[in-house]
């Protein structure tokens, strides 16, 4: 059974059809990339899946549960996590605290327990901290743990956002341009990391403009142009697809 | 480890509180304790609001309203004579379960009033429920709109206090009896229990501070701060942002109402000015001066400014002083009020003085 199934998804902004009858499915454990020129509707697609935007029509099934119409926090609790094209970290909080928020759905101390600082919350709090440190470490940003995130470099912020998404232990991870703004070494590093995450069993849907990265790591590629899916295939077939080449060349020229 | 760091300032506060009492005892300046007691209660409102604004990122210009709900209900219930209603089934039921007290009035008549403990619980619960009811819709609003909505709420409470005979119209409620917390421990303004009441008030502050410090360092507190940092991302982490905003709004309303109850028993009355918009503005100004996301800052500013105000230092400019404070904060920390970040505050202040242009004032 498919982990994610998108059926005839539509989203308009005024007269603009940002996502136009898009359908595809994702099997457990795969890496799928969504590519397409600027403004093709990739981020909008992510916002629809994560519940940040309502769809005009169409259905989204995650783990056989229909998730369109649900709130983002409810979808997150079902095991879907994401990063943003323009990084969205919690300002005024340290890198570690940011990642600790990723453990929110994996812990349960409530309002009153927190206010009374009840002893049973202590081990849980320690677990949250230790786990979060592990994820910071995995992303190579453990050194920034106690630094307020606005004071960190762009690359470090990306790492922290990635760590925060992983800390939720998602089954499906949406990555919106994880390599944007990174140099070639960092990009290669991210590529290795994404493959490693997949090996741990997490399914990944990613939007990315860096073609060599996309061709390297993805199992399948969906191509969007003006909101429409114009191709869906294996990476080497996509490279030879005439329409895809035309869309990309047309975009450049 | 962390716990020591968290509670150490609390112990220091306790030492200062005791120290001040001892000093006033030996210098025969115990009259200061009265204003310090009042300031303590007002500071409970301020630190509750501080957590709502500084950590939750939600403004309220209506907290004097919650203070007034607490104070007025406790005052009215413990003061209004129910003797003429004694035959009524509800009243006799309350009487039988011990929620009412019989006593002799000032002029020897029989008085039947609600027991202060019961009145306190009713008053605080009412404030909490009202906060819960209006918080649902209101907290969907952001920034200016939320400020306007809470301001509207404050004005409504003020007008109700001013217009209803039950709450004494412009005169407010007076001759409110003391509140016996335990045998021998009574919240009242009587001269002999001045020292005791000073400690009751500060006891409340210390408990409130400990609860709030615990909260902001807990899992829920982290979630609250994340809402302030980036609400969309908080949601994506599985945080039910609407629910947490509501919780903290209700909690801060309950703190305000509780302070209202105690102040009313301490002063032996309450008047409509306590419900006024200027009072709400004052609380917001104090939180802003205290540095927004800073419970200790809010507490210290709350004590200092309220103490000076109660001592009459600002004279007839009292309200104006708090207005000016708010304007200055707005000018020099434009991101202040609704969205503050201490690092940026310093930076924008510096750039303001260096470039002498307000262009850095980003949204
Ligand atoms: N909230 C919105 N309101 C109005 N229009 C929007 C909104 N979000 C996106 N759009 C429009 O929808 C179209 C698709 O945008 P989207 O951000 O999904 O593209 P994208 O494929 O992610 O592009 P990029 O590669 O630049 O990130 C664009 O024309 C964009 O201007
Ligand atoms: Mg995009």
| Cβ of residue A200 lying under 6 Å from some atom of ligand 1 | no
Q: Looking at ligand 1, which residue's alpha carbon is closest to its atom 18? A: A41
Let me know: does B229 contact A90? Beta carbons within 8 Å. yes
User: How many angstroms is it from A101 CA to the middle of ligand 2?
Assistant: 24
The closest of B18, B54, B341 to B213, measured between CA atoms, is B54
Nearest to A101 among B222, B240, B344 (CB): B222
Written as six digits, the tokens of B37 are: 């007691």
The pLDDT of residue B346? 59
pLDDT higher than 60, residue B1: no
Residue A75, pLDDT > 90, answer yes
Could you tell me what percent of chain A has a pLDDT over 70?
98
Residues 6+ apart with CB under 8 A from A62: A3, A4, A49, A75, A78, A79, A80, A172
Does residue B327 or residue A1 have the better pLDDT? B327
Please tell me which of the candidates B230, B240, B293 has its beta carbon nearest to residue A73. Answer: B240
% of residues, chain A, pLDDT over 90: 85
Q: What is the helix (H) or strand (E) element at residue A7, kind and residue range?
A: strand A4-13
Q: How confident is the model at residue A249 (pLDDT cuts 50, 70, 90)?
A: low
* DSSP sequence for B108-175: S-EEEEE-HHHHHHHHHHHHHHHHHHHHHHHTTS-HHHHHHHHHHHHHHHHHHHHH-GGGTGGG-EE-
Does B19 score more than 90 pLDDT? yes
Asked if pLDDT for residue A205 goes beyond 80, the answer is yes
pLDDT at B198: 95
Nearest ligand 1 atom, CA A40: 21
Split at pLDDT 50, 70, 90, the class of B357 is very low
Q: Is the CB of A43 under 6 A from ligand 1?
A: yes
Q: Looking at residue B85, what is its pLDDT?
A: 75
Numbered residues of chain A with Cβ closer than 8 Å to any chain B Cβ: 50, 52, 71-73, 76-77, 81-82, 84, 88-93, 97-98, 100-102, 104-105, 107-111, 113-117, 121, 124-125, 128, 148, 150-151, 164, 168
Q: Is the pLDDT of residue B199 over 60?
A: yes
Percent of all residues in chain B with a pLDDT value above 90, rounded to a whole number = 55
CATH code: domain B2-78+115-310 is 1.10.3470
Please state, in angstroms and rounded to a whole number, the distance separating the CA atoms of residues B55 and A218: 41
B279 CA: distance to closest CA in chain A (Å): 27
Rounded Cα distance between A136 and A139, Å, is 5
pLDDT at B132 over 50: yes
The pair of three-digit structure tokens given for residue B66, joined into one six-digit string: 């919650």
Please tell me if the CB atom of residue A13 comes closer than 6 angstroms to any atom of ligand 1: yes
For position A245, what pLDDT does the model report? 84
What's the whole-number mean pLDDT along residues A173-202?
92
- pLDDT at residue B358 is higher than 80: no
Q: Rounded to the nearest 5°, which phi and psi values hold at B150?
A: -70, -35
Instruction: State the smallest CA–CA distance between residue A2 and chain B in angstroms.
Output: 23
The pLDDT score that the predictor gives to residue A253 is: 41
Kind of pairing between the strands at B179-182 and B173-174: unpaired
Nearest CA in chain B to A122: B218
Query: In this complex, do A50 and B219 lie within 8 Å of one another by their Cβ atoms?
Result: no
Which ligand is the nearest neighbour of the Cα of A210? 1
Per-residue pLDDT reduced to its tens digit, B162-179: 998 899 888 999 889 989
Task: Answer yes or no: is pLDDT of B86 > 90.
Answer: no
Position B311 scores a pLDDT of 87
Q: Is B264 exposed, middle or buried (CB count within 10 Å of its CB: 0-12, 13-18, 19+)?
A: buried
CB-ligand 1 contact for A86 (6 Å cutoff): no
Strands B110-114 and A80-82: unpaired
Sign of the torsion formed by the C-alpha atoms of B48, B49, B55 and B60: positive
pLDDT category of residue B352 using cuts at 50, 70 and 90:
low
Q: Is B5 left (phi over 0), alpha (psi -120 to 50) or beta?
A: alpha
- Residue corresponding to tokens 């997949």: A198
CB-CB contact of B346 with A148 (8 Å): no
Q: Is the pLDDT of residue B335 over 50?
A: no
Q: How far apart are CA B250 and CA B252, in angstroms?
A: 5
Distances (CA, A) of B354 to A204, B155, B327: 48, 41, 21
Residue B348 — pLDDT band, cuts 50, 70, 90? low
Residue A154 Cβ inside 6 Å of ligand 1? The answer reads: no
Tell me the whole-structure pTM to 2 decimals.
0.88
Least Cα distance to A206 among A34, A85, A48 occurs for A34
Q: Report how far residue A230's alpha carbon sits from residue B353's, in angstroms, rounded to the nearest whole number.
A: 56
Mean pLDDT to the nearest integer, B329-351: 56
Look at B216 and B329; give whichever has higher pLDDT: B216
Domain coordinates in residue numbering, chain B: 2-78+115-310
pLDDT tens-digit profile of A32-66?
Answer: 999 999 999 999 999 999 999 999 999 999 999 99
| Whether pLDDT at A2 is above 60 | yes
For residue A134, the tally of other CB atoms under 10 A from its CB is 15
Q: Is the CB of A39 under 6 A from ligand 1?
A: yes
Give the pLDDT band of residue B329 (cuts 50, 70, 90).
confident
| DSSP codes, B271-332 | -GGGGSHHHHHHHHHHHHHTTSS-HHHHHHHHHHHHHHHHTTTTGGGHHHHHHHHHHHHHHH
Average pLDDT, chain B: 86
- Helix, strand, coil percentages for chain B (3-state, nearest 5): 75, 5, 20
Distance from CA of B323 to the nearest CA of A (A): 27
pLDDT at B324: 85
- Dump pLDDT digits (tens) for A116-135: 999 999 999 999 999 999 99
pLDDT score of B336: 40
Mutate to test the pocket of ligand 1, among A37, A44, A85, A176 (most ligand atoms within 8 A of CB): A44
Q: Is the pLDDT of residue B109 over 50?
A: yes
Mean pLDDT of A198-205: 94
- How many beta carbons lie within 10 A of that of residue B20, not counting itself? 16
Average pLDDT of the segment spanning A226-245? 90
Report the Cα–Cα distance between both ends of chain A, in Å, rounded. 42
Residue A173 above 70 pLDDT? Answer: yes
**What pLDDT does residue B351 have?**
63
| Arithmetic mean of pLDDT, B322-346 | 62
Among A11, A12, A13, A251, the mutation site with the greatest number of ligand 1 atoms within 8 A of its Cβ is A13
> B132-154 in b/e burial notation, b at 16+ Cβ within 10 A?
eebbeebbeeeeeebbebbbebb
Query: Which pLDDT score is estimated for B363?
Result: 37
Decide: B189 and B262 in contact? Cβ < 8 Å: no
Pocket test for ligand 1, best of A9, A35, A40, A226 (most atoms within 8 A of CB): A40
Query: What is the tens place of the pLDDT at every residue in B267-278?
Result: 999 999 999 999
């Amino acid at each position: 059974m498919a982990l994610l199934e998108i059926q005839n998804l539509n989203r308009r902004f005024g007269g603009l059809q940002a996502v136009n009858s898009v359908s595809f499915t994702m099997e457990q454990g795969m890496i799928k990339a969504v590519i397409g020129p600027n403004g093709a509707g990739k981020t909008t697609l992510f916002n629809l899946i994560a519940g940040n935007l309502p769809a005009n029509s169409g259905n989204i099934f995650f783990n056989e549960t229909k998730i369109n119409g649900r709130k983002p926090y409810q979808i997150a609790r079902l095991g879907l996590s994401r990063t943003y094209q323009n990084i969205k970290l919690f300002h005024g909080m340290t890198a570690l605290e940011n990642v600790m928020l990723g453990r929110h759905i994996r812990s349960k101390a409530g309002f009153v327990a927190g206010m009374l600082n009840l002893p049973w919350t202590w081990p849980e709090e320690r677990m949250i901290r230790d786990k979060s440190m592990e994820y910071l470490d995995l992303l190579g940003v453990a050194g920034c743990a106690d630094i307020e995130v606005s004071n960190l470099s762009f690359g470090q912020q990306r790492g922290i956002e990635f760590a925060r998404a992983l800390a939720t232990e998602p089954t499906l991870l949406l990555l919106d341009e994880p390599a944007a703004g990174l140099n070639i070494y960092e990009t290669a590093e991210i590529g290795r990391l994404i493959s490693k995450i997949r090996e741990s069993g997490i399914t990944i849907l990613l939007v990315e403009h860096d073609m060599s990265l996309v061709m390297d790591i993805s199992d399948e590629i969906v191509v969007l142009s003006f909101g429409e899916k114009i191709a869906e295939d294996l990476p080497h077939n996509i490279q030879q697809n005439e329409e895809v080449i035309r869309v990309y060349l047309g975009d450049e020229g | 480890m962390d716990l020591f760091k968290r509670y150490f300032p609390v112990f220091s506060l306790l030492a200062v509180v005791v120290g001040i009492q001892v000093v006033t005892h030996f210098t025969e300046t115990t009259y200061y304790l009265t204003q310090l007691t009042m300031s303590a209660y007002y500071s409970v409102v301020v630190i509750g609001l501080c957590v709502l604004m500084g950590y939750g990122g939600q403004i309220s210009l209506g907290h004097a309203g919650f203070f007034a709900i607490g104070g007025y209900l406790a005052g009215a219930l413990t003061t209004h004579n129910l003797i003429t209603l004694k035959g009524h089934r509800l009243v006799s039921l309350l009487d039988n379960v011990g929620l009412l007290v019989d006593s002799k009035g000032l002029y020897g008549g029989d008085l039947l009033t609600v027991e202060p403990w019961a009145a306190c619980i009713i008053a605080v619960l009412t404030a909490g429920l009202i906060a819960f009811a209006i918080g649902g819709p209101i907290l969907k609003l952001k920034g200016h709109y939320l400020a306007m909505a809470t301001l509207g709420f404050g004005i409504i409470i003020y007008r109700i206090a001013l217009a209803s005979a039950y709450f004494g119209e412009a005169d407010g409620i007076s001759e409110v009896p003391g509140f016996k917390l335990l045998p021998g421990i009574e919240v009242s303004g009587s001269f002999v229990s001045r020292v005791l009441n000073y400690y009751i008030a500060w006891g409340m502050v210390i408990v409130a501070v400990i609860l709030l410090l615990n909260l902001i360092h807990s899992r829920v507190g982290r979630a609250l701060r994340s809402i302030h940092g980036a609400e969309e991302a908080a949601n994506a982490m599985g945080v039910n942002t609407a629910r947490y905003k509501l919780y903290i709004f209700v909690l801060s309303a309950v703190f305000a109402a509780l302070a209202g109850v105690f102040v009313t028993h301490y002063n032996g009355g309450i008047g409509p000015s306590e419900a006024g918009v200027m009072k709400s503005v004052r609380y917001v100004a104090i939180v802003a001066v205290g540095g927004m996301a800073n419970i200790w800052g809010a507490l210290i500013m709350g004590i200092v400014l309220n103490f000076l105000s109660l001592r009459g230092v600002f004279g007839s400019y009292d309200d104006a002083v708090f207005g000016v404070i708010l304007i200055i904060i707005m000018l020099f920390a434009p991101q202040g009020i609704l969205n503050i970040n201490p690092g940026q505050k310093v930076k924008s202040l510096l750039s303001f003085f260096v470039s002498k242009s307000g262009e850095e004032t980003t949204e």
